[in-house]
Structure 1
Amino acid sequence: MYVAVKGGEAAILATHDLIAEARRGDEAVPELTVAQIREQQGLACARVMNEGSLYDLDLAALALKQAQGDAIEAAFLMRAYRTTLPRFGSSEPVDTAQMAIRRRISATYKDLPGGQVLGPTYDYTHRLFDFGLMDEGQSAVGSRQSSSGANPDCRLPTADGLDTAMPRVPDILGAEGLMEAETPPEGDPRPFDLTREPVSFPADRDVRLQAMARGDEGFLLGLGYSVQRGYGGNHPFVGEIRVGEVSVEFVPEELGFSVDLGEITLTECQMVNQFQGSKDVAPQFTRGYGLSFGHSERKAMSMSLVDRALKCREFGEAANYPAQQDEFVLYHSDNVEAAGFVEHLKLPHYVDFQGELELIRRITREREQRLAREQDTLPEAAE
């Protein structure tokens, strides 16, 4: 540890003050509040909640503030806090079919039963800077409404008036016998908990989905991209993406019936993939699944792509590529563990390095001595 360095402990204490100073920045600029981060940096908070494996918007915003916007450091803070919380049990499975829809789109059906709900999305923006955002108190919505004469009381779309019957696309295909059926394991056991039990390989799907749900978004995005570029062999279609609120229920032992604890925001992606079938299996589509906290479509889509890639053995496909190998995906998708392993290289390794330094010096000396002896014997050989 750095404490072993002369004066190291004092330096560590001093760096805490430097962190606080760097975090605060110019004191002439108003300090960023946790509430502002929570309300205006919702997508960043969603990523921290996913990778921190804890649903709490306020804590995610606090973590981002404390970590100066470093999402991985913020996720680390969330994970560390999560380990201090008591566990009362497991909630009942959430029913995304009953989601209060905020956004719901499909790339496979134009006239989707229940309709498509575009909702808030960057998909159709021009990716040009909105310099109006640099003016304090001036929002992009406000500037657009004032320039177009739109109703200033306009709000983001809500679930009011939406069709309550919004069947999921894989269920529609399943009704025609065109979608891979999904049935729970015999006895419908509780899912594996990778935070309490060691993972073994090959890993079951519930383990893989858990690991990806809190895995690094960028890593999963890269793996999903690799599948699309040919390192996987599946052509995906977005069956459905839905974003909205679902109820979380818990059954206390003393009551024996479920109690509604409240609502959380989830993003669900069901990816439809081609499958040719076989002699024993009729041709059908297969699915990839992604579920994540908050509004986090890129994460859910990447997760669903990799989920389907990891199911290759179930369909008799060769596991030739990184996204198809569960050990590679699960061991390297955890950014908290990966960051710790990489960043530990910053800590003192004086003894290790001195050992290697002495070794290479000795080898170099021995090499020079051997060359010198060879040079001495050359004249004798010439005579």
Structure 2
Amino acid sequence: MDHTMPDAYTVRAAIALAVRAPSVHNSQPWDWRFAGRTVELRTDPRRHLRNTDPDGRDLLVSCGCALHHFTVAAAATGWAAQVHRLPDPAEPGLLARIDLVPHDTRDGDIALAAAIPRRRSDRRRFAHRPLLVRDEVLLQKSAADHGAALCVVAGAPQLSALTSAAAEAGGLHRADPDYAIELAAWSGRNHAPDGVPAQNAIQSHTAVRELRVRDFADARPDDTEGRDGAALTVLSTAGDSALDRLRAGEAASAVLLTATRLNLASCVYTEPLELTCTRGLIRDCVLDGHGEPQLVVRIGYLPEGAAPLPATPRRPLGEVVRPVAHPYGIGLPIPAQLRGR
């Protein structure tokens, strides 16, 4: 046995955890391939939600979340992931080429990987209980370690701007029939391997100064009482390139898994970042022009006695990952005389 080379079972097990990452409308827009010690992550353009996500921001953020989940899962199984992001300008759909090398697994690797199956996108109201300062610091560090900043929105003007941006984005989307058709197609399904099931969707909060969540089809009423006590955070990057968006997804994954380790509930929220006008409002009035907002994350504590949410479905692994039997190795150039065959 070659102990410097992961076996196919190990790679597939790591990808099985990676695809537990959150994605816009649970569309799971990724394509995984591997050969030997090399794994590649590509976008699946058939799953680009063009009315929800016209510029592909959510697509890249979603894939970035899955990329970080993979590196966490690999580390827990004894393999460090050396990630080469956007390695081929001629192939923009190739987001990452990952080389796996032996790694001495640490307790922290296992704890973070163990958070993957526990994490949920919880859209219910959270309890009125402030985050511990220590936990805020850990969450912000987890974002900073991946090239992003996590701003906890605390001031009244900033909170008002954020909730106003969310309300405006929701109104514009509700007035868009193409968006409505796409949203209905990706939500309210309870027996599909993708999309947002009705049991995981919540009717929008309507109280003043609350963040209005997306209007998914067949959403059930929120079974928690009172006003939402979630801490609202905005994750931002210095720029807004494809690389920035991919890295934002990795940082979001790190924040969500860290929150889960800390026994905090969380939910990614992207609707006000999908429209240029409301994204600009968040950039200028919430972040004071410092950085490019990529997504909002609600973080907090569930009310005592709140029932756990079921896991959202995932596509069969055979649909999203395939080994590549390639005589020249994955990612290596094919000789000119063989191109086009």
User: Which of the two has greater helix per residue?
Assistant: 1
User: Which of the two has greater strand per residue?
Assistant: 2
Q: Same fold (TM over 0.5)?
A: no
TM-score, reference length from structure 2: 0.24
TM-score, reference length from structure 1: 0.22
